[in-house]
């Protein structure tokens, strides 16, 4: 099982971090040790003073695939979840300045929160609302229509480079509003009006 993440997939998030708009999906990978499930608490790592939350829609691959045409991508998933790509922003910024990979900032232990999965059967995937509240305040909200590359396009692109296996996760990018987490923060994520995760930061 691998965790594939897509960066810079929402225009407003690109603007808030002063990044350039990519001409193809930005891909990075987290190890399976990054997973945090079942509403377990997130512990801020001691090597960072600026860990940011980034809420994202997550799909789970249900079929082995390679070089998947975009028109067939919908056959490779049937469930969706909500996740957080925790990012050690101070570490990432230092790595970027040196032209180095981001793994230490993105792939550290428990940096990939993932909720329960729900069927996509009755969902409008190209018009899906999701949100994150911190301590009762709305901090991020997005809609899948805002994606630069939609889910099927992401699958088609990623599968040109990596064989997708059953059980792989794809984090599809975050909207604007990312920010720092602090001890005792209470994070709740929703897809439409359904609570997907509810946990605390330590």
pLDDT in tens, 192-201: 999 999 999 9
Task: Name the pTM for this structure.
Answer: 0.95
What Rg value do the Cα atoms of the chain yield, rounded?
16
Distance CA 178, CA 36 (A): 19
Q: Identify the CA nearest to 51 among candidates 21, 90, 20.
A: 90
- The label of the residue with tokens 């790592």 reads 45
Q: pLDDT of 158-191, one tens digit each?
A: 999 999 999 999 999 999 999 999 999 999 999 9
- Binned at pLDDT 50, 70 and 90, residue 39 comes out as very high
Structural domain boundaries in the chain: 3-200
Q: Identify the CA nearest to 84 among candidates 125, 34, 32.
A: 34
User: Both ends of the chain: CA-CA distance in Å?
Assistant: 27
- Whether 26 has a pLDDT exceeding 70, the answer reads yes
Render the burial of 22-40: b for 16+ CB within 10 Å, e for the rest: eeebebbebeeebbbeeee
CATH classification for the domain delimited by 3-200, as one of 3.90.850.10, 3.30.70.141, 3.40.50.300, 3.30.460.10: 3.90.850.10
Percentage of the residues of the chain whose pLDDT score is greater than 90 = 91
Q: Would you say 59 and 80 are in contact if contact means Cβ atoms under 8 Å apart? A: yes
Instruction: Average the pLDDT over each of 6-10, 87-91, 97-101 and give the range with the smallest value.
Output: 6-10
Q: Would you say 124 and 151 are in contact if contact means Cβ atoms under 8 Å apart? A: no
- Binned at pLDDT 50, 70 and 90, residue 140 comes out as very high
């Amino acid at each position: 099982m691998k965790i594939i993440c897509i960066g810079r997939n929402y225009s407003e998030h690109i603007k808030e971090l002063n990044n350039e708009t990519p001409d193809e999906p930005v891909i990075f990978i987290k190890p399976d040790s990054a997973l945090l499930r079942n509403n377990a608490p997130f512990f801020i790592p001691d090597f960072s003073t600026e860990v940011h939350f980034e809420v994202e829609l997550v799909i789970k691959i249900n079929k082995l695939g390679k070089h998947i045409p975009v028109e067939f991508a919908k056959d490779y998933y049937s469930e969706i979840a909500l996740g957080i790509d925790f990012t050690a922003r101070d570490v990432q910024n230092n790595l970027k300045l040196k032209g180095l990979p981001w793994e230490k900032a993105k792939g550290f232990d428990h940096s990939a929160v993932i909720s329960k999965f729900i069927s996509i059967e009755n969902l409008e995937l190209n018009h899906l609302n999701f949100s994150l509240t911190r301590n009762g305040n709305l901090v991020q909200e997005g809609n899948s229509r805002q994606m630069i590359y939609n889910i099927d396009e992401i699958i088609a692109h990623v599968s040109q480079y990596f064989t997708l296996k059953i059980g792989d996760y794809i984090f599809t990018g975050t909207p604007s509003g990312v920010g720092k987490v602090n001890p005792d923060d209470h994070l709740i994520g929703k897809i439409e009006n359904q609570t997907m995760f509810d946990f605390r930061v330590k």
